[in-house]
Amino acid sequence: MTSSSNELKKKMQYRRLGRSGIQVSVLSFGSWVTFDNQLKDDTALECMQAAYDAGCNFFDNAEAYAGGESESIMGRVMQQLGWPRHSFVLTTKFFWGLHGRMPNMQNTLNRKYLMHAMEGSLERMQVDFIDVIYCHRPDPNTPIEETVWAMSDIISSGRALYWGTSEWSADEIRAAWDIADRHHLHKPIVEQPQYNMFARRRVETEYARLYEDIGLGTSIWSPLASGLLTGKYANGIPDDSRGALPGHGWLADRLTDPAQVGKVEQLRPIAAELDCSLAQLAIAWCAANPQVSTVITGASRASQVVENFAAIDVLPKLTSDVMERIAAVVR
């Protein structure tokens, strides 16, 4: 462990995941886009170790990431690292499936799919249980009752400890929670929505009642708006960036939108005053929201992990005055 990592670890904050008892690091590490596309086993190991050394205990994945290879990479890396299983929280998500257009195995949350998906993730990640499993998207073609019963049964079987949702509406989350409450089943404890300075409505408005009413936690993704908030797209799309990856051309227009890029540039003086990068400012801004349980970060190299996790130093600097200045720019 480097001295910088050791200092970050001492400063790391831990928050309960909603109203549950489990505590997660306010900054966490996810594998979306990077694992397999940009990171193979060796670099993934370096990045995960850097995050762990900085106090991260929450590692996010999904069955569909890189067609299952993301889970496989993380599983192999964890075996090499040999971390005590009690020292980290492992997550994955189900919905898209890995079996093409086969009936019951794609774009669904029916019981049959969920049971198969759970077994596949355990095998790829080489663990006996996964701490948090998510329904990666809502499924309008499967009754919510069926999904809730299946997720609760997985928890009861010991193959997972908690469950939640990702990109569900407030009404869908409340319906799932009410069904679980009525039948004394394991309730969803966490939602994983996109949240950043340019995507605020769901976390700040739509879910507002759920934090108090049902104790909803959030593990938010894309705190950097797919890299836009790093400022590196001010002059177009760099060759080594996410926007240049095959299959990610859909990001290009958003990442180079003049209005959004202009707002990012207005944030640059604020970051300079706080002695931090734009990325650190954006990550810390997300963590400043008390309804955010953990901010999922990604990286393509270990040095980037260390830089991102240094956002923990920026968090105390986000006074009400600074937050108002940021709001004036991004609203």
User: In this structure, what are the phi and psi dihedrals at residue 82, rounded to the nearest 5 degrees?
Assistant: 65, 30
From CA 19, how far away is CA 211, in angstroms rounded? 9
Catalytic residue among 52, 65, 113, 134: 65
65 is catalytic: yes
**CA dist 119 → 130, 164, 299, 303 (Å):** 10, 18, 28, 34
Strands 14-16 and 23-25: antiparallel
Instruction: Of 6, 76, 8, 4, give the one whose Cα is nearest residue 40.
Output: 76
At residue 220, what are phi and psi to the nearest 5 degrees? -90, 150
| Cβ-based neighbours of 182, under 8 Å, separated by 6 or more | none
- Give the three-class secondary structure for 148: helix
Number of helices (H) and strands (E), helices first, in the chain?
Answer: 13, 10
> Which amino acids are annotated catalytic?
65
